[in-house]
Structure 1
């Protein structure tokens, strides 16, 4: 029994026709890092939003962080499916992410503006992943990145529409 607990995960060769699986995995890991950072930020704003739009923002952000939490698992499992290891430390997640922590207590409007901009950043990274996956003969990652990009684009639109002047 003790022997079975001493197995350490390592990259594997998966022969599915994907070219440069390490490149694909690195790009997926970057998106996974952004997803984790944005999930937490969205959840923290969800907990702390106040004001006349509380109910709308609270409900919108709940749906968004739940979607992103589930997506993190899909992204990590795709990394494993191309034979690579998913990130295992928060240090790695923070180093890879373009999503930054909040430095203060924003207003409800600032929360929506910040989250919308963050969703746009993630969508840009996903567009790059779509291109990389297409070039590396990886239609599965291409489809996943396209689906995730659509989510982030819609999230940005909804947050911007909520605070439109």
Structure 2
């Protein structure tokens, strides 16, 4: 049975919000990763990579807000501390300044992780009757898969 934020059980909203908070954490870490790479990329592919990393962090900044606002629509608080996000995230910060190729590989892995996390959150939401959250997760997951494809293409 399809439900809205107001008709979901407390247990359902808690589970969905936890999954979405995981998505927010990983999106936030990936945002900063992309911005760091945007600032620091060098080499023959500087221009296209500089632009791609900017597209990624700009997309992710908006996505963080969309995901957090869905948590709030569920009447749960979004977990917004950087330390908490880093602790929860399956995506890690990069140590030092990696090579351009390593930046691409790390960002590709981050995009794949985000797609997987969002797919899981979407499946959970669907199983609990929250098609609106499922739809958000599907759309975001597709975006991350597209970014992963772009990045894989640089490594081919």
Which TM-score band applies after superposition, normalised by the shorter structure? over 0.9
- Structure 1 runs (4+) deviating above 3 angstroms are none
Partner residue of 1:158 out of 118, 127, 150 = 150
Hey, what does 2:7 align to over in structure 1?
Answer: 17
Partner residue of 2:79 out of 84, 87, 108 = 87
Hey, what does 1:125 align to over in structure 2?
Answer: 117
Unaligned 5+ segments in structure 1 are 1-13
Size of the aligned set, in residue pairs, is 151
1:62-101 to structure 2, matched below 5 A, reads: 62-101=54-93
CA contact (8 A) 1:123 1:149 kept: yes
CA 1:15–1:115: 2 relative to 1, 3 Å = closer
TM-score (norm 2): 0.93
1:15 shift after superposition: 5.8
Measure, in 1, the Cα distance between the counterparts of 2:45 and 2:82: 33
TM-score (norm 1): 0.88
Partner residue of 1:108 out of 87, 92, 100 = 100
1:130 shift after superposition: 1.1
Deviations 1:14-49, CA, capped at 9 Å, x for gaps: 862224101000000000000000000000000000
